[in-house]
Structure 1
Amino acid sequence: MTTGVSADPPPFARELLRWRRARRVSQLELASRAGTTQRYVSFIERGRSVPGREIVIRLAESLDLTLRERNALLLAAGYAPAFTESPLDAAALEPVREALDGILEGHLPYPAVVAGPHGELVAANAAFDVLSEGAAPELLEPPVNVLRLALHPRGMASRVVNLDAWGRHIVENLRARSLRSPDPLLDALVEELARYVPVGEPGADHLGFAVPLRLRCPEGELRLLTTLTSFATAVDVTLAELHLEAFLPADRETAGILRDRAARRG
């Protein structure tokens, strides 16, 4: 007797079920988000229905998958990827590169960088020197990894006053990202970076990770707030995986030091 249920669900059915469970979303909630029915989602996951390209895209969007993950889900369903993945030096991305250069320049005299999904440095402004000075030459050889530079003992770490709190902030954010979008390369990087972060007991004045980066430089101690900007409406995989990290002064003394450095830099 047959039940109509596939003994071995097709790749898309398995992938959809895996992502839905990873996101802790019920069939009913996913169906509501995607504008379909729970029955139809159930049929897809059991291999009884073959979804069209449009519903695959809607389901991927409803699961908040990255563009790379959406392309993979489309491929699992037998469809061509919907989102291009252009090299950074592609002509199509030239206006974006020019805009990013303008943003980096406009953030001066404060440091700012554009980095890839695993911390690879894409671009930086002239104030990046306050972050990189004194680092071991091998950490500054292309391709530079700004995450490794930040926490490596021969990178910024020796100058970071609050390395335990700031380092844990970086590592835990990366762990959370890897949990949401599993990535073996990112897992390996997190494992490496975690070894550089000292283990310390929080003091009475502990405020969690809501503390500025405290960085020593020849002119004194800098207190820097960091902001991360991603390109949420990008339709190119490469662009969607970039982020802009900008550092802002947390006090007047820091602002003054960075302005004076910029003036000397000319």
Structure 2
Amino acid sequence: MRTATVGELLRQWRHQRRLSQLDLAIAADVSARHVSLIETGKTNPSAAMVLRLAARLDVPLRERNRLLLAAGFAPRYAERPLGSTEMAAARAAVGRVLEAHEPYPALVFDRRWNIVASNRAFEPFLAAVDPELLRPPVNMIRLALDPRGFAPMLADPADARAMFRNRTARRLAIAPDPELAALYDEFLTLEPAGEAPLPVDSEVLTPMVVRFAGRELRLFSTLTTFGTPLDITLAEITIEAYYPADQETAAYFTGEPL
């Protein structure tokens, strides 16, 4: 099987972003002719040019390495496990964020919704989950939507499914991924009869009602990512922090009387 050239890969990304050669040229401050020559293989771009075009196309770091390799250059971005010695500072920062959010739940997941870390407030919710779903890697979509996981606890599983569908579809639009696509096909493709799509404005603040310990806990969440990371692992993880949406829920987590 022939390996795609850097020009072909850049053209694929440009088409995916629905940009013309002129659009990309203007954004990257180069001539449209130069973009055309690169895409057709009539000129070999420098590493700096590859990265400039990739940045304007919002290409993920993992795929920028692939572009550099296709152009004959060494990868620029490392991918080190979060548990490695080199990532100690980043790991400590993530840990501080998770701990500081207690007594409310928070967790960290990667680009495929696999949970990387969580705080102590999240652990009680795993008690009723089938141990098979807790074998690494623990996947948030499976955990939320599988009947052996959180699904029985959710007051409206349809909202959770719609949220995951919207977010996963956006991720696949940004960067195709076979494993993530398979997960989408398994859990998110078919909408049950009568299930309405999640409104766009609810993506800003998606409420969640969880039936747990004989109560209805009302929560909402925020997402945090690392700014301008130079490591693939950091670029692909997200911290999701859950907050109480009413006083009763806050009292449950803090142990304070109403």
TM-score computed with the length of structure 1 as normaliser: 0.88
- Name the counterpart of 1:175: 169
- 2:242 alignment partner in structure 1: 247
**Mean alpha-carbon deviation: is it higher for 103-112 or for 214-223?**
214-223
- Percent sequence identity is 42
Contact 1:215 1:223 (C-alpha < 8 Å) held by counterparts: yes
Pairs within 5 Å for 1:63-78: 63-78=57-72
* Counterpart position of 2:117: 123
Alpha carbons of 1:50 and 1:108: their partners in 2 closer, same or farther (altered >3 Å)? same
Alpha-carbon distance in 1 for matches of 2:251, 2:17: 45
Q: Which residue of structure 1 aligns with residue 146 of structure 2?
A: 152
Q: Could you tell me how far 1:131 is from its partner in structure 2?
A: 3.1
Aligned mate of 1:222, from 217, 220, 223: 217
1:241 maps to a residue whose letter is E
Cα pair distance change 1:258/1:250, threshold 3 Å: same
1:40 aligns with 2:34: yes
Deviation at 1:142, TM superposition (A): 2.6
Aligned to 1:193: 187
SS in 2 for 1:224: strand
Q: In 2, Cα distance between the equivalents of 1:249 and 1:232?
A: 26
**Distance in 2 between the 1:214 and 1:153 partners?**
16
RMSD (Å), alpha carbons: 2.5
1:15-63 per-position Cα deviation (integer Å, ceiling 9, x unaligned): 1111100101111121122121111111111221111111011001010
Unpaired runs of 5+ residues, structure 1, are 1-7
Mind listing any 5+ residue stretches in structure 2 that lack a counterpart? none
Deviation at 1:9, TM superposition (A): 11
Structure with larger Rg: 1
Check whether the contact 2:144–2:160 (CA below 8 A) recurs between aligned residues.
no
8 Å Cα contact 1:219/1:257 also seen in 2? no
Count residues in correspondence.
254
Would the aligned equivalents of 2:158 and 2:195 in 1 still touch at CA under 8 Å? no
Q: Which amino acid aligns with 2:115?
A: L
- Aligned: 1:52 with 2:46: yes
Question: Could you state the TM-score of these two structures normalised by the residue count of structure 2?
Answer: 0.91
Q: Deviations over 1:73-94 (max 9, x none)?
A: 1111111111111122221100
Whichever residue aligns with residue 149 of structure 2, its letter is G
SS at match of 2:108: strand
SS of the residue corresponding to residue 188 of structure 2 reads helix
